């Protein structure tokens, strides 16, 4: 199992199944791969920690976010505002600003996707 923590601003969309992916920096820990079970939390390492849902990973791919746009795998994305909204942002400018402030640009990471159906024990 792979656990991911979400800021409060994204938690309700993850819990409701409106947000079905996350973009994470490459780090020391391995990211989820296709078929892995994901545990999606908010407030990890705090008293208010709460499991939002568990789901199966349906995709994991390279993601580059720059001032100019987004590349997934080796494919530049053309609908940038749509891409940003699917990740819980108002538009691409808002997403770009968040990544610039949080990680710096260009950002290199992985986009992890999961299915909408919760795992059986979470229903």
DSSP SS3 for 6: strand
Q: How far apart are CA 19 and CA 10, in angstroms?
A: 8
Q: How far apart are CA 60 and CA 7, in angstroms?
A: 20
| Model pLDDT for residues 26-37, shown as the tens digit of each residue | 887 889 999 999
Closest CA to 118 of 35, 17, 47: 17
Among residues 99, 40, 41, 102, the alpha carbon closest in space to that of 66 is found at: 99
State residue 121's pLDDT score.
47
CA distance 13 to 19: 5
Residue 120 has pLDDT above 80, yes or no: no
Domains in the chain, start-ordered, CATH in brackets?
2-122 (2.30.130.30)
Would you give the distance in Å from CA 18 to the centre of its chain? 12
The whole-number average pLDDT for the span 84-97 is: 96
pLDDT at 123: 46
């Amino acid at each position: 199992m792979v656990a991911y923590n979400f800021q409060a601003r994204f938690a309700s969309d993850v819990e409701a199944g409106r947000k079905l992916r996350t973009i994470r920096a490459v780090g020391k820990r391995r990211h989820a791969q296709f078929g892995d079970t994901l545990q999606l939390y908010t407030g990890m390492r705090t008293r208010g920690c709460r499991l939002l849902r568990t789901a199966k990973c349906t995709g994991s791919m390279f993601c580059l976010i720059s001032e100019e746009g987004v590349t997934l795998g080796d494919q530049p994305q053309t609908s940038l505002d749509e891409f940003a909204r699917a990740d819980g942002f108002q538009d691409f400018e808002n997403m770009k600003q968040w990544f610039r402030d949080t990680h710096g640009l260009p950002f290199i990471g992985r986009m992890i996707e999961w299915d909408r159906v919760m795992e059986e024990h979470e229903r």
